[in-house]
Chain A
Amino acid sequence: MVVNTTKSESLRAKYDLDIEQLDYKYIGQCTKVKTIENILRVLRSGQEGVYPDLVRFTEERLRTLKPSSALLRTEQPATALRFLDSKERDELLSDLTEWKQEVSAADAELKSSESAKEPTDQQLPPVRGTVQLRSAAAGERKPEPEQKPARIASYDYAAWDRYDVEAQLKLLDESDAPAAPPQSAVQPPSDPAIDDQPPVEGLSAAERSALALREKQKGNEYFRSGDFSRAAVYYTRSINASPTAAAFNNRAQANLKLGKYGSALMDCGAVLRREPNNVKALLRRGIARQMNKDWIKARLDFQRVLELEPNNPQARQHLGEVEKAIIGSETKRSKVLIQEVDSMEEEGVQGPAPAGDGDGHADSHQDKSDARTSLESDAAVGHKDDVSNKGPALIQEITQSENTEEVVINTRFRTQQPERSKNEVSISKEPEVGCGEKQKESPLPASHAANPKALSKDDEETTSEITSRTPEQDTPADAPKQLPQTLVADSSVPGHRVTDQPPPRPPATGSGQPHRWSTFEFMREWRCARRSERSAAATAVLLRSVDPDQLTEVLGAELDSALLSSVIRCVDEVMLAQDGPQRCHQLLQRLTDARRFHVVKLLLDARDRQRLQSIAERLWRRGVDVTALERSFLS
């Protein structure tokens, strides 16, 4: 665009526009904001004629393209009170009257209060020293040009003798180096010393609260501009002037943004002590706890928020996240410390060492409300060489509350995932944990010296079985290599301080016996199987090894849609052919008795339903009565 500046030139020529461009069609399809703006200027100037409709059309077009354009700004006369409609006017006037009353009351209080005196000279900082600053004028004198050293004449041999080449070369090099960037006179300090304590000496309560309000407003402004650290500083000043719930709440939010979850928790706590139903504080505390991975308490907070405000979208979203995390963490919770103690054969003494270690570990969780201990014995094949002959190898499984340190996992323990089941087993109570007994015990306090019992979370888990076994049971030939072995800790071992233990169950022998699974092991094996190449076959092997009557306990509350889907697929593809209809039917029947089945069943996708249909059909063809099964699966 060529811009000519002669006065006689029209705007249209100045903006380089054709007359055809001042047209509805062109304007309607033009997308360039600058062109439209120039067209609008030309039209508004009236140099090409007066076309009010075209002007309006162009304005509309500009509004669609760039609503914030400066050309669209209009100046209207300001409204007077008499032109407002009655509702607005009444609102305004009542607001003003209310405010006037408040201010008069505050004013009266201030006048009557004691501190209506001028600040004394001692309180004020000293007078600034008297300084005169001559500011640099506009046309500063340039520094004198450097005097170049005089040239040495060619005939001046003496001077040439004195000439130092090295020094001159060095000077040249230095002058070539880039000069340091010029620094301005004063730069703002990067870490300004803002006092935490605002000037509150000698102020009455009303003045302090006014000051607190102003500091909080400053904090809000910093928060809006994204400067959370300074916002927190100003909220602190507001709290130091006069603590209010709003300032604590805001500081909690600023701390959340800064990632200081501990401080945010404290601030929310301060608010909730004064106002137990403050929704914002509850929400923020929930978020802080969620960030600290304190899932249970976070869930409580979000549920509380939803009780108070059922439509709070943030609370819902966070609650969903926390629930997912809880489910995830329940499978992760227990870390295992493997302690080789004795071989399982002898009823020998268990040294206090393992128990002591376990206790030691547990003692460190004294204050964690859900610290529990359990034992799971393990003598995987590869460990055989490590197992001493004295008693069962004990694995102390120490469960931790969610945000604690992790116990060292013995690397011999062959599993790659950190997932763990919720099941815990008592050290020596395995024998009690017999066929399908459900142990319902309360969570163990950290001092499990008293009661190392099997704990079930929420009273719903199956007990993990620990059976004493003979070494022959080590690896059933048909089991996949990854299956760990379980051992029973001998209950008669005195070191475990367990009382009232019935004598251990006689070890199951023979690999034909269905393996007694713990939920944790089962799930682990299932995951391995699922990831392996022939997952259906591996799952089939796994399912075969489970006694159907034990299936519900083994599954515990672990049944989810993935598991159900894989079982169905396995039955469909492998087991129906290999194991016979009765076995499959029994398996599926037992599956319907598992916990959560009804919920998970609803999540089956179409393919699984088809598979079920086909399974049912095949079973029926082979003479199995599938009505009950169909009803429970497919209803």
Chain B
Amino acid sequence: MINSLDGVGGAGRQQGAPELVTGGRDGSVKVWDVRQEVPVAVMEPAEGEPRRDCWTVAFGNSYNTEERCVCAGYDNGDIKLFDLRAMKVRWETNVKNGVCCVQFDRRDIEMNKIVATTLESGVLVFDGRTQHPERGLTCLRERAHKSTVWCVRHLPQNRDIFMTCGGSGSLNLWQYTYPAKRRDRDAGGDFGVMGTLTQLQSGIVSSQPVSALDWSPDKRGLCACIAFDQTVRVLIVTKLQLYG
């Protein structure tokens, strides 16, 4: 069973091969090219290892035709970052709660930020620009929604604004501001410095969990979400142009 799906590439929109990535119940993350039936890359646990549900996948770092990364979140709290050009695991970590949703702030630039949302109201922002050899990517944690955070979606017109959807039926709009110095150095190497996360707005749209949301790429602030109460809602978020 496929839990999550993402796509990137193809001429005219972004550079690189047109590919899809799926994350499934069997713990495998498969990358498909639309031109053929056999997956072009499969990332799965080794034989005999316990297979954890892969709940979410996302593409990123696709700034030219060769580079591409896949980030996958699992139900035991694992987050793994796969580099598709080098065919290696670039980074992995465990955030203690099942990861419901993972997204890069933009697919078609060098990886800048990764936002992961977890069970038990966890919202984590990772700085993808600097990777410390031991500590990996730096993280900023927030608590929100007082329940499972089902989904995170970045605004297509501004990579520093994103919306999270919660199990309490609420939506939170966040803005990330960068620190003065984005990286620092210690004995082991360079590490990233996190900025601050401000909650711009929050609103309850439903009494049931809001499980998915998407922004319109054409109109800033227009989005659609679905909730467990079998409704599709179309929302407008105003005054986003004030944030850049």
Contact = CB atoms under 8 A, between A and B. Distances in A.
A230 B170 CA distance: 36
B238 A136 contact: no
Contacts of B134: 181-182
Interface in A129-183: 129-138, 181-183
Contacts of A135: 43-46, 80, 82, 89, 92
A70 B33 contact: no
Contacts of A124: 10-11, 17-18, 35
A226 B180 CA distance: 8
A99 B222 CA distance: 11
Nearest to B52: A138
A184 B133 contact: yes
Contact of A133 (B41, B91, B218, B238): B41
Contacts of B109: 218
B65 A127 contact: no
B204 A76 contact: yes
Interface string A586-610: 0000000000000000000000000
Interface string B44-84: 11100110000000000001110100000000001010111
B49 A138 contact: yes
B100 to A, nearest CB: 19
A119 interface: yes
A544 B89 CA distance: 87
A441 B42 CA distance: 83
Interface stretch (A17-25, A199-207, A493-501, A556-564): A199-207
Given A73-B199, A185-B88, A132 B42 contact: yes
A53 to B, nearest CB: 25
B25 interface: no
A533 B157 CA distance: 67
A221 interface: yes
B36 A119 contact: no
Q: How many of chain A's residues touch chain B, expressed as a range?
A: 35 or more
A429 B11 CA distance: 73
Interface in B69-115: 78, 80, 82-84, 86-92, 106, 108-112
B39 A130 contact: yes
A121 B11 CA distance: 10
A129 B40 contact: yes
Contacts of A103: 218-219
Given A77-B204, A182-B133, A226-B178, A188 B111 contact: yes
Interface stretch (A189-197, A315-323, A414-422): A189-197
Contacts of A225: 112, 160, 178, 182
A36 to B, nearest CB: 18
A187 B219 CA distance: 36
Contact of A78 (B12, B33, B39, B235): B235
B121 to A, nearest CB: 11
Contacts of A187: 131
Interface string A228-266: 001000000000000000000000000000000000000
15 contacts: A75-B202, A76-B203, A77-B205, A78-B171, A78-B203, A127-B36, A138-B78, A181-B134, A181-B189, A185-B83, A199-B15, A201-B11, A203-B12, A224-B178, A225-B182
Interface of A: 68, 70, 73-79, 92, 96, 99, 103, 119, 121, 123-138, 181-188, 192-195, 198-199, 201-203, 207, 217-218, 220-221, 224-226, 230
Interface of B: 10-12, 14-19, 31, 33, 35-36, 38-46, 49-50, 63-65, 67, 78, 80, 82-84, 86-92, 106, 108-112, 128-131, 133-134, 136, 142-143, 157-160, 168, 170-171, 178, 182, 188-189, 196, 198-199, 202-205, 218-219, 235-236, 238, 244
Given A135-B46, A188-B111, A226-B178, 19 more contacts: A68-B198, A77-B203, A77-B205, A124-B35, A125-B16, A127-B35, A128-B33, A130-B40, A130-B41, A131-B40, A135-B82, A135-B92, A184-B131, A192-B63, A194-B63, A194-B110, A218-B159, A224-B244, A225-B160
